[in-house]
Structures are given as structure tokens and as C-alpha cells.
Amino acid sequence: MTGVFTDLPGQDAVVAQLRRAAAGAAALLAGQRTGGAMTHAWLFTGPPGSGRSVAARAFAAALLCDEGGCNECNSCRQVFAGTHADLLLIRPEGLSYGVKQTRDLVLRAAGKPTGGRWHVVLFEDADRCTEQAANALLKAIEEPAPRTVWLLCAPSAEDLVPTIRSRCRVVTLVVPSSDAVAQVLTDRDGIEPARALAAARAAQGHIGRARRLATDASAAKRRADVLRVPSAVTSLGPALTAAASLVRTAEEEAKAVTEELDEPEREALRRAFGEGSSGKGVAKAMRGMAGAMKDLEDRQKSRATRVKRDTLDQALLELALFYRDILMMQLGADTELANPESDLRKLASSSTPEATLRRLQAIMHCRELLTLNVAPLLAVEEMALSLAEG
């Protein structure tokens, strides 16, 4: 199968829905009746890694392509590169998205599509809108410009205010099965099947993470570091050491992620201001650049905070998953385990289900403390001590 919808393993129902809608949209443009398959506001939901933004991006490509999403023409390529003139890509970098930004967005979205088809706004993490921002957004969705299509993404429909939610058609992505994810890793990335399946199980249906685990040695090493915690927390001293290393590992990973993003952004800004050129007005432009650079750096800093928090949370979820596997083993439940049985057996036999449950609670409590902005090391140390106690 070719076309823009190939990167959505295990999402057959969603793909069928979006194909029908894209065909309906094309019929609308041709002045034909469409039977209601197309509408102007969509909400893509699904757990992290299920591919909600991938699905939204593919749908945008299908709407903007003359062939309904061929994945080969200029328009399709520009959508995936994020450079299409009729596609507004919104990705909140900080923890929230404000009302001023939203008003600007609404104005820009109302413009006529240059390509003569649609003006598509793809708003990732729309749940990060502040309340006022959500109100500004609501107005735009209530009274849509005739050729504007809103694609909002959020973990679940409940993450958006009901007034917005009720005006959107909801597209629900499911967590793809480990087999479906492994298949993609094998078919497209040429990863050996057993390794692909192990990575897919460890990533619990998160395709991007599964691919990283299977291909990036440092990501796999960081995961191994996290999973050493359960057997390391035997008493006070080792528990504190494990806590420190858990926090450090998460910080290293977050740093690797943000550094990869930061420098190209600064570089693009410098180029936009014509750094290195000379002539009339250049000095003035340079002063403008200093302000823009400061803005960019503020946004990068706020993104770094978010990535750091998300990365540590990811590590804690991985740890929780490890104990969940142990619990399943202790209870003799018949579920797919995320971790290899050989890693779990010793801890499963040397503790009780009650102790495992208490440990799981300690991890969840730690995650809660982190959302309340407790210092990460403090929260993780407290957790590690509870893990050691059992």
C-alpha cells in the first residue's frame, strides 16, 4: 500500500475514516455532495506514541494533495517537511499556549489557501491551551472560515473543554499491538524480527520509542540503567545512589534531545536576519535579532524544562511497568509482559504481590510530587527509599 497513511500500523479504522473524509473534501471542492464524511474541525486523540500527530499530518497531506495524498508530489513532501504554505503547524514549546498566540493563529488561519484547496491548521498538544486561549480557539471553530480545517491533537477528548470537543469530530487512535509495531520496524527499518519485537514490547506500542530502542544504543543503555534500579535498591546507601543516577540519566537524555533542536533553531534565526551580510540597515536588523534571539532562548529554556520533566516521567513509567510485570508474574496472570521474563523472575520470587503493589504506589506518588514541582532528586530519593523498604 502506498500513500500518506502507511505510517499508522494497527490503526485501520482511523485510516479508513480519514480516507473517506479526504475523498469527501475533494468532492466538496468539486462542488459535489459529500454525505458528511468531511467536516472543518477534527480532534485526534490517542495515548502518547500511538501516532495522533502522524495521523493528523497524513490527513493534512491528503487534504492538500491533488491526488488525495499520493506521498510523492511536491505538496505531500512539503506537508511532511513542514514547509507547505497552506499548513500552519502549531507545536506549543512551553507548558502552555497563550491567548495572544492563539488570536494570531486564528487570524492567520482565516486567510485564503494559496494552493486553492484548504488552509489546514495542525495544532499538536492542543490541551496545553490556557482557558482564554481555548475561548479564542472556540470562536474560530464555531464560525469557521469556509476553507479552513482545524486538526487538534490531544491525549484524550477529556483534555479539551467540552465546548470545543463537541464541535470537533473525534478520531481515536488505539495503542497498536507489539506485533504491529515490530512489523513496521522490520519492514521499514530492516530491524531483525526478534529485536524488533523486544523493542516494541518495551516501548508498549510507542512506535518512535520502539524504533529508538532498537536502533539507538544510548537510548537502550539508558533504559537498561533505569531497569537496574529494582535490583539495586537493597538498602539505604544503594537506594540513594540509584536515585541520583536515575535523575542524572533522565537529565542526560533530555539534554541530548534539546541540544539536537536548539542549535538548528538558532542557526535558522541568524540566517533569517542575514547575519554576516553588510550594508545599510544591517546594524538595525542586528539589534532586532538580539530581541528575537532572546525570545527564542526563553522558549528553548521553557521547552528544556518540559523535556526534562517528561523524560524523568518516562523513566518512572518504565520502572512502574517493570513492577507491573513482576506483579503479573506473582499473580500468575496471563498478560503480555513488557520486560523479558528472565529479568523479572528473581525479584518476583523474592517478594510478595503486596510489596510490589506498595512499590508501584511509591512510583506513582513520586510522579505526582514531580507534577507539583518538588525538586526531582528529593522526590526520587523518597521513592527509592520506599522501593528499598518494600
Nearer to Zn ion, 72 or 104 (CB): 72
Q: Smallest distance from the beta carbon of 4 to Zn ion, in angstroms?
A: 7
Q: Smallest distance from the beta carbon of 77 to Zn ion, in angstroms?
A: 8
Q: Find residue 345's DSSP bridge partners.
A: none
* 251, 257 Cβ separation under 8 angstroms: no
For binding to Zn ion (CB under 5 A), which residues are involved?
65, 70, 73, 76
What are the residues whose beta carbons fall under 8 Å from the beta carbon of 278, sequence distance 6 or more? none
Nearer to Zn ion, 18 or 65 (CB): 65
Nearer to Zn ion, 73 or 161 (CB): 73
Q: Smallest distance from the beta carbon of 24 to Zn ion, in angstroms?
A: 17
Q: Smallest distance from the beta carbon of 176 to Zn ion, in angstroms?
A: 25
Nearer to Zn ion, 70 or 257 (CB): 70
Q: Smallest distance from the beta carbon of 13 to Zn ion, in angstroms?
A: 23
Nearer to Zn ion, 68 or 274 (CB): 68
User: Which residue sits closest to Zn ion, CB atoms considered?
Assistant: 65
Give the separation between CA 379 and CA 247, rounded to whole angstroms.
Answer: 10
Nearer to Zn ion, 65 or 243 (CB): 65
Alpha-carbon Rg for the chain in angstroms? 24
Q: Smallest distance from the beta carbon of 23 to Zn ion, in angstroms?
A: 14
